[in-house]
């Protein structure tokens, strides 16, 4: 059975077991399903967790695409925000480290693929409804297979050569 789009995006972005173990807590993996089942009182918090999961996946793809330290720092902030127990706590975590997000865009050179990921990241943060979030997820899933991660294979080969 095909996994839902949200889970597929997380699987694509966090394809290595080590990264998945570090960043993807079971509650993050289940965030979309939990959002769909949320009571009206809990809906905003559950939606924020989906938003954070999608944003985390996009930053992981951007980090892998360009080996960007800034993207990894943003991932760490998003990861901490995912552990927050409320929308207010999520906002506090994000606002406390707003400079990390600003640094992502300062003096950042990215290629067209990186720009597309940053655009999707912004759309994810701006999404205020399930249809907008679903469209961002679908677009990320369409984009991910087209990304050129060939430099990662080159780095792995170089590391193997150095070990020999």
What pLDDT, in 10s, does the model give residues 14-57? 999 999 999 999 999 999 999 999 999 999 999 999 999 999 99
What integer is the mean pLDDT of 70-90?
Answer: 94
What pLDDT, in 10s, does the model give residues 94-125? 999 999 988 887 756 567 888 888 899 999 99
Q: pTM here?
A: 0.86
Q: Is the dihedral of CA 3, 41, 91, 131 positive or negative?
A: positive
């Amino acid at each position: 059975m095909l996994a839902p789009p949200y889970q597929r995006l997380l699987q694509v972005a966090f394809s290595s077991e080590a990264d998945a173990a570090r960043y993807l807590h079971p509650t993050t993996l289940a965030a979309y399903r939990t959002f769909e089942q949320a009571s009206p009182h809990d809906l905003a918090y559950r939606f924020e967790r989906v938003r954070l999961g999608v944003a985390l996946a996009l930053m992981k793809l951007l980090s892998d695409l360009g080996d960007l330290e800034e993207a990894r720092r943003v991932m760490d902030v998003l990861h901490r925000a995912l552990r927050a127990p409320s929308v207010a706590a999520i906002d506090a975590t994000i606002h406390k480290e707003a400079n990390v997000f600003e640094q992502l865009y300062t003096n950042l050179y990215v290629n067209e693929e990186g720009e597309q990921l940053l655009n999707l990241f912004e759309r994810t943060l701006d999404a205020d409804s399930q249809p907008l979030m679903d469209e961002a997820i679908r677009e990320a899933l369409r984009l991910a297979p087209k990304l050129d991660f060939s430099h990662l294979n080159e780095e792995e080969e170089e590391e193997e050569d150095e070990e020999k």
